[in-house]
Amino acid sequence: MPPLSSNAPIGVFDSGIGGLSVLRALREELPHERFVYLADSAHTPYGEKGDAFVRERSLAIARHLVSEHAIKLLVVACNTATAAAVHLLRSNLPDIALVGVEPALKPAAHCSRTHHVGVLATRGTIASARFGELLSRNSEHTHFSVQACDGLAHAIEQSTLEPLPAAASLEKTRALCARYMGALGPFGTRDGEMDTLVLGCTHYVFAEPLLRELAGPDIRIIETGAAVARQARRLLQERALLTDPAAQPHGGDVGLYTTAAPSALQAAAQRWLYFPISRCATVSLP
């Protein structure tokens, strides 16, 4: 493999549009970097697929980003893919720095005053050994109530098929949020209540306004985008791979790719990303 270039892009992937929340945080932290984002929307959501399938797709996507875009850093912007495949990716791509995402249980435990934290995540993430270990490490002084949210990531994906969310899609997302928040139990600041909510799927960030309505104004909601972005910066600094701002004075470009029709990804980018996109196209992967 040839030496990595500081001018090379950062690769980011997710099963769909959820990772755009991580891309947004990365662009805020690293405005001069170039990014390539790949949504495996033909197979979304990963959270309701088996580990073997997720590992196969993750490796295919990572190899594509390395071979076609010569990326210098890979961000796995999907909790399920991180849990199922991050060790496989590291062993198969040893020359590429890698950042995964995982539910922010540790910071939630530190900031909760009631020592009771709610977690919303996909079934695939919750069932993973990686999540079990994370839960065990952080449960000494904190009780975590964990809820699998079947269908929520898909509903959020569906809401982007039009430039503005169709009323039916928005209501479906709202209904699922209400169901899963109700299943977690009472939120509040009194003993026994949950005063902190962890969003354990990058898709759920885009439902945060609905979740905020249900949780109440005093509840802290934690997601992982900013922490992932800071880790990406650290890894690039360690490897002397940060882009020289003078080479990209107006900011690096961002290319979006998807394994499905690009309409949903493009609509989501227009709604949730606050920076220009250089292209949005469909790619074919084995």
pLDDT tens digits, one per residue of 43-78: 988 988 999 999 999 999 999 999 999 999 999 999
Please tell me the distance from the alpha carbon of residue 229 to that of residue 226, in angstroms, as a whole number: 5
Mean pLDDT of 97-103: 96
pLDDT at 165 over 60: no
Token pair 């980003």 is found at 65
Catalytic residue among 149, 177, 201, 280: 201
Of 47-51, 58-62, 189-193, 229-233, which gets the smallest average pLDDT?
47-51
pLDDT at 104 over 90: yes
The model carries a pTM of 0.91
Q: What residue ranges define each of the domains in the chain, with the CATH number in brackets?
A: 10-101+225-282 (3.40.50.1860), 105-222 (3.40.50.1860)
CA dihedral 167, 168, 171, 173 (to 10 degrees): -110
**pLDDT above 70 covers what percent of the chain?**
97
Catalytic residue among 78, 149, 177, 280: 78
pLDDT at 245 over 80: yes
Q: Please check whether residue 99 is in contact with residue 232, taking contact to mean a CB–CB distance below 8 angstroms.
A: yes
pLDDT at 284 over 60: yes
In this prediction, residue 225 has a pLDDT band, given cuts at 50, 70 and 90, of very high
Reported residue count of the chain is 286
pLDDT at 250 over 80: no
Reply yes or no on whether 201 is catalytic.
yes
